[in-house]
Amino acid sequence: MRRLADDWCRMRDGWRLNVGPAPDTMVDMDPELEAFIPLFPPADLDDPASARRYLAGLAAAGPAPDTSDLTIEDRTVPPDVPVRIYRPRQARGAIVWLHGGGFCMGDLDTEHPWASRLALGSGALVVSVGYRLAPEHPFPAGLDDAYAAVTWAAGHVAEFGVDPARLAVGGHSAGAGLAAAVALRARDQRGPAIAFQLLNQPELDDRQDTWSARAFTGTPWMNRSKLAATWRHYLGGQTASAYAAVARAGDLSDLPPAYVATAEFDPLRDEGIGYALRLLQAGVSVELHQWPGTFHGSQAILSADVSQRQIAEFAAALRRALARD
């Protein structure tokens, strides 16, 4: 088998990616994103505690969103799951939102800017979940917390003037993987009715055998070694089930409609695209948006036009889904 490579090279006219065995096979990154690549730290999750501190610092240093049009409330829902509720004026629907971070980073504070933007852009009530993190709390702890939050939301969003029939679940990266797992579990256990899945760059497959997972060894923020570390921490030595890694599920029928977004230079790209195609083949309505020239988490570069379009489209997809009669 020929060796796959994806080394980032500094060319005279910008950063490009070597794809495949031939060094002259190149593809371009979005020019507004490329200048930020040297500022990204090495993608390393061998020390989750240090990675959490770094992520918290990044979140704190970023621009704070204007939340003047939101009512924000912290709660703890049964059995003991912290959530932060973002309520826009006249919210028509709601989403239980699960942060990214490879199953081992992130919390309500690091996700605050994104949950705020989602609530403001979509007009939906956002229930952001502070689920337990691996490796201290491996699978199924995070999923159990996410499912508990959805169960609570299904029974309580009416208190906020929201129709429980317009309840979605979603997330970034590992959070999107958890959201997909919640939808699968709710179907199988006849749990809360979920109207929609909003999945951004979802992490779905512990096997890591897609082309993008094998080829993207040096991409910014997420690469093959970091991806392997996320699954090692999350599974804690267990064999993955379909609830841990939804790409393993054999039957995807009767799941909620989905919006799936992927990034071109992301190890998770192909599993997201593959999952969207399998949903379609199972009769589930899907909108798939593959963003060219982007990498995992590049939406954090808010100054880039492509990031602004991604964030706006993501919120608009939720708004459209929850507005359906």
The Cα–Cα gap between 115 and 84 comes to 9
The yes-or-no answer on residue 173 being catalytic is yes
Choice among 173, 212, 298, 307 that is catalytic: 173
Rounded to the nearest 10 degrees, what angle do helices 305-323 and 112-122 cross at? Answer: 60
The Cα–Cα gap between 243 and 25 comes to 38
| Contact predicate 16/26, CB 8 Å | yes
The yes-or-no answer on residue 74 being catalytic is no
The yes-or-no answer on residue 266 being catalytic is yes
Residue 205 DSSP class: -
Q: Which residues contact 50 (CB under 8 A, 6 or more apart)?
A: none
Rounded to the nearest 10 degrees, what angle do helices 141-156 and 173-188 cross at? Answer: 70
Instruction: State the distance between the two ends of the chain, measured CA to CA, in whole angstroms.
Output: 52
Choice among 6, 116, 296, 298 that is catalytic: 296
Choice among 266, 270, 298, 307 that is catalytic: 266
| Catalytic positions, written as ranges | 173, 266, 296
